[in-house]
Amino acid sequence: MMLLPCPWCGPRNATEFRYVGEAGPRPDPASTTPEEWRRYLFMHANPCGPVKETWYHRAGCRRYLAVERDTATNEVRSAVDSATGVAR
C-alpha cells in the first residue's frame, strides 16, 4: 500500500488515484517539429530515485496533483495541487 498526501483530502491510498506520468512542459503543437513532438510523446527520464510527476485524484477531489516521489522506495516527498499550488 502506498499513501499519497492529497492536499484536499488528506493521506489516501494510491489506488484512489490515476497515475498520469512524469511532469513536464507540453510543447506547442503549432510550432513544434515532429521530432520534438515525438520526443515529448514517447521519451521518459524514468529515473530510479526522485521524480516529479502528475497524479489525478479520481476517487476524491478530482484534482490534478504535482507529486514528488522516489521511484526506488515509493516514498512520497510532496504533493500539491497542480493548478493552485495548494499544499497540505
Partner 1 sequence: MSSNNGHGGHSRYSAWSLVRHGLTPKSGWPRAWREHDLESSYDAVIIGGGVHGLATAYYLARDHGMRKVAVLDKAYIGSGGSGRNTAILRSNYLTPEGVRFYDRSVKLYEHLAADLNYNVMFSQRGHLTLAHNDSSLRTMHWRTEVNKLQGVDSSVIGPDEIKKLVPYLDTSADTRYPILGALYHPPGGIVRHDAVVWGYARGADAHGVHIHQQTEVTGIDVSHGRVTGVQTNRGPISTPVVLNATAGWATLISDMAGVSMPVQTFPLQAAVTEPVRPFLDTVVVSGTLHVYVSQTDRGELVFGASVDPFASYSMRGSLEFTEGIAGHVLELMPALHRMKLLRQWAGLCDMTPDYSPIMGPTPVEGFYVDVGWGTYGFKAGPVSGEAMAATLASGKPPEIISAFGLDRFTDGRLVGEKGAAAVGH
Shortest distance, position 74 Cβ to partner 1, whole Å: 5
Query: Beta-strand (E) ranges in 1-88?
Result: 3-6, 10-13, 18-22, 50-56, 64-70, 76-81
Shortest distance, position 17 Cβ to partner 1, whole Å: 8
Q: Categorise residue 41: left if φ over 0, alpha if ψ from -120 to 50, beta otherwise.
A: alpha
Query: Does residue 30 touch partner 1 according to CB under 8 A?
Result: no
- Of residues 7 through 26, those in contact with partner 1 by CB under 8 A are 13-15, 18-19, 21
Shortest distance, position 1 Cβ to partner 1, whole Å: 6
Q: Which of 25, 26, 28, 34 binds partner 1 (CB under 8 A)?
A: 34
Count the helices and strands in the chain (H runs, E runs). 1, 6
